[in-house]
């Protein structure tokens, strides 16, 4: 047993005991029932202290100015705005978790996540399938293929669409349980293998969209194939994939692109490829820095490039990183713990809302097909800032966030950031805006002792809201298989705390992966650096 696996099992035991205590003493923050029929569930909106601490005020002001400049660059929204769909990442189904995907607890967590998204009005989900998870010969590959095939069927049966992000696994980083090495694998064999897995996804899984590559530097860093981290090398890689893929009657649309920090030159070489249905991008960070240039201006250039070449755009990842400078040494870029440490706080919800609104405005001006928010945990959980908590390491704070995330998504409890995204998603479908309903409460207070950090439930004010959405929770995954079934639900059975503990553990693993993707996306790490 590895130290990582042993640590996760011990962590799961502690979570189980903590949730057992909470279940006996803490009331549920919202009613655990859903009305039968078309009425949507009630969303509870958590309230936070939004006062920006002096330590972060300069950052916050700079970010607001950056966003104001981006707004000015966008200009007015057209009288006939572009129509696009709102999506969110289905992190519990991320393939970097490996065997965790195949357990019944994962299926329950995925169901809860889909229910919460539908309650928010989200129309599509992003699912990450890393190479070589589905490759013949990789352990459990046929089971993983069946998992994703049935998962996409379930997503479709809910009236939602699925975007698959195809990328290499985060092996060798501590953020993936998959055991694989790219060392000794010839580059040509790597390209052939990726193309074969992408073909399986298109032919068997049949998502609505597949993103075959967006983060050139991340792929290069994880594999050691440094030619990928050049515009010419990335173009060659994408064009080789496009030339080898066949839709075979599949409805899947194929796209590729580049991160805003990579620059527009990373997508110009293949934008006119006839086999490319759409362009993709990831939007990180917000600030204009010497390491990455000006990502928001690059985003506008990408929008113009798409217009000029009659291509749609899928923004397959974005989130407002609340930093205004590169990470300190040993980091060489942005992202990672340095950035994520500042995103856990409730006072960031103002910047979150402003960013969400402006990226939505960009999507109304330029030919965006789908807008996918990445760091979904912040739809369901933030922490109130205190100097004591600020002195904690990021992963300590992240564990608290992920525990709240797993709990809150099951009770349709969202942050103001989640409320903002729900309002935007619902409005895009011509539904009612969020309306105030009633008041309830929930919080997390952390107490330090000489040897442990324990979490107990308290009660600051929150506001319940109702968000109009399409049918919620009508399709579930079986606890033993991924076959979908349609039921008319009158009530949600109270979630046993033993199963909740496993769900929290799933969220902790998946949440750590969110950090890894964004960290490696913006830092020039190689597998050897990571080891």
358-409 residue pLDDT tens = 999 999 999 999 999 998 999 999 999 999 999 998 888 989 999 999 999 9
Query: What ranges in 26-133 are assigned the alpha helix state H?
Result: 54-74, 104-120
The pLDDT confidence band at residue 293, using thresholds 50, 70 and 90, is confident
Alpha carbons 500 and 409: distance in angstroms, whole number: 12
Closest CA to 495 of 122, 111, 147, 125: 111
pLDDT (0 to 100) of residue 511: 55
The pLDDT confidence band at residue 485, using thresholds 50, 70 and 90, is very low
Alpha carbons 141 and 389: distance in angstroms, whole number: 42
Alpha carbons 469 and 118: distance in angstroms, whole number: 7
pLDDT (0 to 100) of residue 493: 32
CB atoms within 10 A of CB 415: 26
pLDDT (0 to 100) of residue 416: 97
Alpha carbons 437 and 443: distance in angstroms, whole number: 20
- Answer yes or no: is pLDDT of 232 > 70: yes
Beta bridge partners of 125: 88, 162
Alpha carbons 88 and 416: distance in angstroms, whole number: 16
Cβ atoms of residues 348 and 382 within 8 Å = yes
- Answer yes or no: is pLDDT of 170 > 90: yes
Alpha carbons 32 and 42: distance in angstroms, whole number: 10
Residue 168 to residues 132, 174, 517: CA-CA distances in angstroms? Answer: 7, 15, 11
Quick one: 187 exposed, middle or buried, by C-beta within 10 A (0-12, 13-18, 19+)? middle
Residue 328, CB half-sphere, CA atoms under 13 Å: how many?
Answer: 2
pLDDT (0 to 100) of residue 509: 52
DSSP letter for each residue of 239-301: HHHHHH---TT---EEEEE--TTT-THHHHTTTT-TT--EEEEEE--SS-BTTTB-HHHHHHH
CB atoms within 10 A of CB 129: 26
The pLDDT confidence band at residue 486, using thresholds 50, 70 and 90, is very low
Give residue-wise pLDDT tens across range 125-140: 999 999 999 999 999 9
Give residue-wise pLDDT tens across range 433-452: 433 333 333 333 322 222 22
Alpha carbons 529 and 531: distance in angstroms, whole number: 6
More confident residue, 313 or 393: 313
- Answer yes or no: is pLDDT of 39 > 80: no
pLDDT (0 to 100) of residue 165: 98
Calculate mean pLDDT across residues 7-30: 33
Calculate mean pLDDT across residues 43-47: 96
pLDDT (0 to 100) of residue 287: 78
Calculate mean pLDDT across residues 66-70: 95
Alpha carbons 120 and 162: distance in angstroms, whole number: 16
pLDDT (0 to 100) of residue 183: 92
Calculate mean pLDDT across residues 184-209: 98
More confident residue, 323 or 170: 170
More confident residue, 502 or 494: 502
Q: What is the DSSP letter of 53?
A: P
The pLDDT confidence band at residue 292, using thresholds 50, 70 and 90, is low
The pLDDT confidence band at residue 40, using thresholds 50, 70 and 90, is low
Angle at 501 between CA 421 and CA 512, to 5 degrees: 55
Quick one: 172 exposed, middle or buried, by C-beta within 10 A (0-12, 13-18, 19+)? buried
Task: Look at 63-77, 135-149, 453-467, 514-528 and tell me which has the smallest mean pLDDT.
Answer: 453-467
pLDDT (0 to 100) of residue 326: 63
Mean pLDDT of the chain: 77
The pLDDT confidence band at residue 499, using thresholds 50, 70 and 90, is very low
- Answer yes or no: is pLDDT of 32 > 80: no
pLDDT (0 to 100) of residue 30: 31
Question: In sequence order, what are the residues at sequence separation of 6 or more whose Cβ sits closer than 8 angstroms to the Cβ of residue 420?
Answer: 349, 352, 353, 356, 357
Q: Which of 96-100, 106-110, 200-204 has the highest mean pLDDT?
A: 200-204
pLDDT (0 to 100) of residue 177: 85
- Answer yes or no: is pLDDT of 285 > 80: yes
pLDDT (0 to 100) of residue 520: 52
The pLDDT confidence band at residue 145, using thresholds 50, 70 and 90, is very high
Calculate mean pLDDT across residues 450-477: 29
Cβ atoms of residues 513 and 91 within 8 Å = yes
- Answer yes or no: is pLDDT of 51 > 60: yes
pLDDT (0 to 100) of residue 143: 98
pLDDT (0 to 100) of residue 336: 57
Q: Note the pTM of the prediction, 2 decimals.
A: 0.79
CATH architecture of 3-69+84-523: Alpha-Beta Barrel (3.20)
């Amino acid at each position: 047993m590895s130290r990582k696996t042993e640590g996760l099992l011990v962590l799961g035991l502690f979570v189980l005991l903590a949730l057992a205590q909470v279940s006996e003493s803490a009331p549920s923050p919202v009613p655990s029932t859903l009305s039968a029929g078309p009425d949507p569930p009630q969303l509870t909106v958590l309230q936070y202290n939004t006062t920006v601490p002096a330590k972060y005020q300069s950052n916050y002001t700079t970010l607001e100015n950056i966003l104001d400049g981006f707004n000015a660059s966008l200009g007015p929204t057209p009288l006939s705005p572009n129509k696009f769909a709102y999506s969110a990442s289905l992190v519990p189904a991320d393939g970097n978790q490996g065997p965790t995907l195949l357990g019944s607890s994962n299926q329950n967590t995925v169901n809860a996540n889909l229910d919460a998204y539908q309650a928010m009005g989200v129309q599509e989900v992003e699912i990450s399938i890393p190479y070589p998870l589905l490759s013949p010969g990789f352990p459990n590959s046929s089971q993983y293929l069946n998992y994703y095939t049935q998962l996409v069927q379930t997503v479709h049966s809910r009236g939602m669409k699925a975007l698959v992000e195809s990328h290499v696994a985060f092996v060798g980083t501590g953020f993936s349980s998959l055991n694989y090495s790219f060392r000794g694998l010839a580059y040509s064999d790597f390209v052939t293998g990726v193309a074969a897995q992408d073909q399986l996804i298109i032919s068997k899984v049949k998502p609505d969209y597949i993103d075959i590559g967006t983060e050139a530097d991340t792929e290069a860093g994880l594999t050691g194939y440094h030619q990928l981290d050049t515009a010419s090398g990335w173009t060659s890689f994408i064009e080789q994939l496009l030339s080898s893929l066949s839709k075979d009657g599949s409805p899947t649309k194929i796209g590729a692109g580049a991160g805003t920090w990579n620059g527009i030159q990373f997508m110009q070489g293949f934008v006119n490829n006839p086999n490319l249905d759409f362009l993709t991008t990831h939007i990180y960070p917000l600030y204009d820095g010497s390491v990455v240039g000006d990502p928001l201006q690059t985003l506008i250039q990408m929008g113009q490039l798409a217009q000029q070449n009659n291509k749609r755009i899928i923004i397959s990842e974005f989130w407002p990183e609340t930093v205004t400078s590169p990470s300190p040494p040993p980091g060489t870029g942005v992202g990672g713990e340095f950035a994520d440490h500042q995103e856990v706080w409730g006072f960031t919800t103002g910047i979150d809302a402003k960013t969400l609104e402006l990226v939505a405005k960009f999507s109304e001006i330029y030919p965006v097909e789908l807008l996918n928010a990445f760091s979904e945990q912040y739809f369901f959980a933030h922490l109130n800032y205190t100097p004591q908590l600020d002195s904690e390491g990021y992963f300590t704070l992240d564990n608290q966030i992920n525990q709240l995330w797993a709990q809150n998504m099951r009770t349709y409890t969202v942050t103001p950031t989640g409320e903002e995204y729900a309002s935007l998603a619902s409005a895009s479908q011509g539904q009612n805006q969020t309306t105030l309903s009633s008041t309830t409460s929930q919080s997390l207070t952390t107490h330090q002792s000489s040897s442990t950090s324990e979490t107990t439930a308290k009660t600051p004010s929150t506001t319940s809201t109702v968000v109009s959405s399409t049918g919620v929770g009508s399709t579930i995954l079986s606890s033993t298989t991924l076959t979908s079934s349609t039921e008319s639900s009158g009530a949600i059975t109270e979630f046993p705390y033993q199963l909740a503990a496993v769900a929290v553990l799933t969220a902790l693993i998946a949440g750590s992966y969110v950090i890894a993707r964004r960290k490696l996306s913006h830092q020039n790490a190689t597998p050897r650096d990571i080891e």
